């Protein structure tokens, strides 16, 4: 017979064995379950500057090593913050959750790229998502506007004044001094003021001065009569227009009589005879050392004064033609004086400029002065603030003098079978042919891009815009992080935008790519511009690319 107790324990033993077997199978199935990676976003549509939360959830064995992506791996979206990993455990399994805050400051549709999660050295990839970014409408009706904030005082700049500023200030000061010297009006001396008087007034003034002289008192009759006859002869030469200073007494009297007979001088015969008598007396005093009485000398002076007055009255009034000739002569003299002043000012200005230029050349050197005098906007761009950014997807990173602007491009019907997406960014300065452009292309099939076809298309674009005599060279290239690529470079003759002048310039085409994508950087600049050369070298050295799609 079978013992009931033994049967009961035997049944319990069998049940316990079955339970252990089931638990073992459960643990075995849990231990053999592989890692799981899932993703989610809180929204797929945001406005510019808003954030989305991208959540990555990993289920794996509790002993597994899990590495999440770090840094800017979500381009073209930007990583604002990567939150700490949240970990929960259940038996020998664990669940890891990582949240990323992402944003974008340019409107458009963007592809959130796949991310690589490394679990125990093996890569697991997340799904890619399409994110829509829209612009923000500005409410100009319901929003309240505020006054402009007041100015904030800042500390005075105590930096030293550059040398060229001193050169400019010194040149202006020197120019001002020269102009003042040229244009200044000196006060006229008494002799100069008398010389500007009309001949008649000047003769009467000189006769009055002779009256107050001490020649008669000192019995210096020779000097007295010499000045007396010179005064009247000078007056006749200037106002009557006869050669009186170089004529003898008889010659001068003969000329006066001829003018009287011709009607050019309406003077009485008695006046001429009186004038001859005085001249004869003067000749005797000057050459024969005759010494007349003092009263006679004074009477001769008064007689000469009357002769001057009567001669002035005897001169006929000038005709209208003579007056016009005199006015034209005065106007011509005035114009000559003005022209002389202008020439002096121009010479002074040129001298100041030359001196300033010579001083600047000695201080800065000939090459620097030449490059600064010839205006080149490329110099300002080189020395200005540069922008480092990432463009397109797959991203192209570079530093440039200005931000590259997204260009709206359409995929042509011929490209639709080959190209799935294309993003283009560019910047161009027409003053010096300085252009920078990037393009990121996603191919329709996961195959290597045709680099030669891309190069031919870019060069064809140059030709379509008027470029001629294109010289091409090619070499291997490496990005800043060591990504291999191809560099095509050379020179060409470009045509300006107006279609007129042709300018010799240079270009460089740099290409990267892999299965399913291609990245391009196209540069152009004017040949012979040293600042543009430095700009391009700096851009090329800053180029880097991401080659994970």
86-98: b (≥16 Cβ within 10 Å) or e: eeeeeeebbebbb
Instruction: Report how far residue 360's alpha carbon sits from residue 354's, in angstroms, rounded to the nearest whole number.
Output: 10
Instruction: Report how far residue 197's alpha carbon sits from residue 176's, in angstroms, rounded to the nearest whole number.
Output: 33
Q: What is the DSSP letter of 252?
A: H
Position 160 confidence tier, pLDDT thresholds 50, 70, 90: low
pLDDT for res 53:
92
Query: Looking at domain 197-314, does it have CATH number 2.60.40?
Result: no
Instruction: Report how far residue 166's alpha carbon sits from residue 327's, in angstroms, rounded to the nearest whole number.
Output: 49
Position 4 confidence tier, pLDDT thresholds 50, 70, 90: very low
Query: How many residues in the chain?
Result: 549
Q: Are strands 396-400 and 468-478 parallel, antiparallel or unpaired?
A: unpaired
For the chain, percent of residues with pLDDT exceeding 70? 81
pLDDT of 3 strictly over 70: no
385-545: CATH number: 3.40.1000.10
pLDDT for res 447:
84
What is the residue whose two structure tokens read 């199978």?
25
pLDDT of 29 strictly over 80: no
More confident position, 339 or 144: 339
Dihedrals phi, psi of 489, to nearest 5 degrees: -145, 165
Instruction: Report how far residue 304's alpha carbon sits from residue 208's, in angstroms, rounded to the nearest whole number.
Output: 11
pLDDT of 346 strictly over 60: yes
pLDDT tens string 400-435? 988 889 988 887 777 777 888 888 999 888 777 788
- 255 contact partners, CB below 8 Å, separation of at least 6: 242, 243, 244, 247
Domain 36-134 superfamily per CATH? Immunoglobulins (2.60.40.10)
For the chain, percent of residues with pLDDT exceeding 90? 13
pLDDT of 549 strictly over 90: no
pLDDT for res 103:
92
pLDDT for res 286:
87
pLDDT of 30 strictly over 60: no
What mean pLDDT do residues 331-339 have?
79
pLDDT of 347 strictly over 50: yes
Dihedral sign of CA atoms 441, 444, 449, 451 in order: negative
Position 539 confidence tier, pLDDT thresholds 50, 70, 90: very high
Reported as type and span, the H/E element at residue 334 is: helix 320-364
pLDDT tens string 253-282? 998 889 888 888 888 889 889 999 999 998
pLDDT of 22 strictly over 50: no
pLDDT of 6 strictly over 70: no
Instruction: Report how far residue 110's alpha carbon sits from residue 77's, in angstroms, rounded to the nearest whole number.
Output: 8
Structure tokens at 246: 């170089």
pLDDT of 28 strictly over 60: no
Assign 260 to helix, strand or coil. Answer: helix
Instruction: Report how far residue 321's alpha carbon sits from residue 328's, in angstroms, rounded to the nearest whole number.
Output: 10
pLDDT tens string 354-365? 777 777 767 666
pLDDT tens string 101-158? 999 888 888 888 888 898 888 888 888 888 899 887 666 666 666 677 777 776 665 5
Segments making up each domain of the chain, as ranges? 36-134, 197-314, 385-545
pLDDT of 303 strictly over 70: yes
What are the DSSP calls for 175-243, one per residue? HHHHHHHHH--PPPPHHHHHHTS-HHHHHHHHHHHHHTSSTTTTT-HHHHHHHHHHHHHHHIIIII---
pLDDT of 393 strictly over 70: yes
Contact present, 525 and 492 (Cβ < 8 Å): no
Q: What is the pLDDT of the chain when averaged over all its residues?
A: 80
What mean pLDDT do residues 96-100 have?
92
Q: How far apart are the first and last CA of the chain?
A: 77
Position 17 confidence tier, pLDDT thresholds 50, 70, 90: very low
pLDDT tens string 76-91? 888 888 898 888 888 8
- 84 contact partners, CB below 8 Å, separation of at least 6: none
pLDDT of 13 strictly over 50: no
């Amino acid at each position: 017979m079978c013992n009931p107790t033994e049967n009961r324990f035997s049944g319990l033993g069998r049940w316990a064995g079955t339970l252990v077997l089931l638990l073992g199978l459960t643990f075995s199935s849990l231990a053999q379950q592989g890692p799981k990676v899932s993703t989610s976003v809180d929204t797929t549509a945001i406005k510019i500057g808003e954030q989305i939360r991208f959540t990555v959830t990993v289920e794996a064995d509790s002993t597994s090593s899990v590495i999440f992506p770090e840094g800017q791996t979500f381009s073209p979206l930007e990583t604002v913050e990567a939150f700490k990993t949240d970990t929960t455990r259940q038996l020998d399994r664990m669940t890891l959750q990582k949240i990323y805050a992402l944003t974008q400051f340019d409107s458009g549709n963007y592809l959130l790229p796949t991310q690589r999660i490394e679990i125990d050295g093996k890569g697991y990839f997340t799904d890619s998502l399409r994110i829509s970014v829209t612009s923000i409408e500005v409410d100009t009706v319901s929003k309240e506007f505020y006054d402009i904030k007041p100015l904030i005082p800042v500390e005075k700049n105590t930096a030293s004044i550059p040398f060229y500023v001193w050169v400019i200030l010194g040149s202006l000061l020197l120019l001002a001094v020269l102009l003042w010297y040229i244009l200044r009006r000196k006060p006229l001396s008494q002799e100069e003021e008398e010389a500007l008087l009309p001949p008649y007034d000047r003769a009467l003034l000189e006769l009055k001065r002779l009256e107050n002289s001490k020649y008669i008192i000192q019995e210096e009759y020779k000097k007295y009569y010499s000045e007396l006859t010179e005064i009247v002869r000078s007056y006749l030469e200037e106002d009557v227009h006869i050669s009186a200073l170089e004529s003898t007494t008889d010659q001068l009297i003969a000329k006066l009589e001829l003018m009287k007979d011709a009607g050019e001088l309406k003077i009485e015969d008695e006046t001429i005879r009186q004038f001859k008598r005085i001249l004869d007396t003067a000749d005797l005093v000057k050459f024969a050392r005759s010494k007349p009485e003092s009263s006679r000398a004074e009477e001769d002076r008064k007689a000469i004064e009357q002769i001057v007055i009567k001669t002035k009255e005897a001169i006929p009034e000038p005709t209208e033609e003579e007056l016009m000739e005199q006015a034209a002569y005065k106007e011509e003299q005035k114009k000559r004086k003005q022209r002389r002043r202008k020439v002096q000012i121009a010479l002074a200005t040129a001298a100041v400029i030359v001196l300033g230029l010579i001083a600047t050349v000695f201080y800065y050197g000939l090459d620097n002065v030449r490059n600064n005098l010839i205006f080149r906007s490329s110099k300002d761009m080189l020395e200005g603030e540069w922008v480092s950014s990432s463009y397109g997807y797959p991203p192209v990173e570079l530093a440039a003098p200005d931000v590259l602007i997204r260009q709206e491009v359409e995929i042509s019907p011929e490209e639709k079978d080959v190209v799935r997406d294309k993003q283009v960014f560019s910047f161009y300065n027409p003053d010096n042919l300085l252009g920078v452009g990037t393009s990121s292309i996603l191919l329709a099939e996961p195959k290597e891009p045709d680099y030669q076809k891309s190069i031919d298309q870019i060069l064809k674009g140059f030709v379509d815009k008027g470029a001629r005599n294109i010289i091409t060279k090619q070499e291997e290239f490496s990005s800043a992080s060591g990504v291999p690529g191809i560099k095509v470079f050379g020179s060409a003759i470009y045509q300006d935008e107006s279609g007129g002048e042709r300018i010799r310039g240079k270009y460089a085409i740099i290409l990267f790519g892999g299965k399913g994508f291609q990245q391009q950087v196209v540069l152009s600049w004017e040949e012979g511009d040293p600042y543009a050369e430095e700009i391009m070298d700096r851009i090329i050295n800053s180029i880097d690319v991401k080659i994970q799609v």
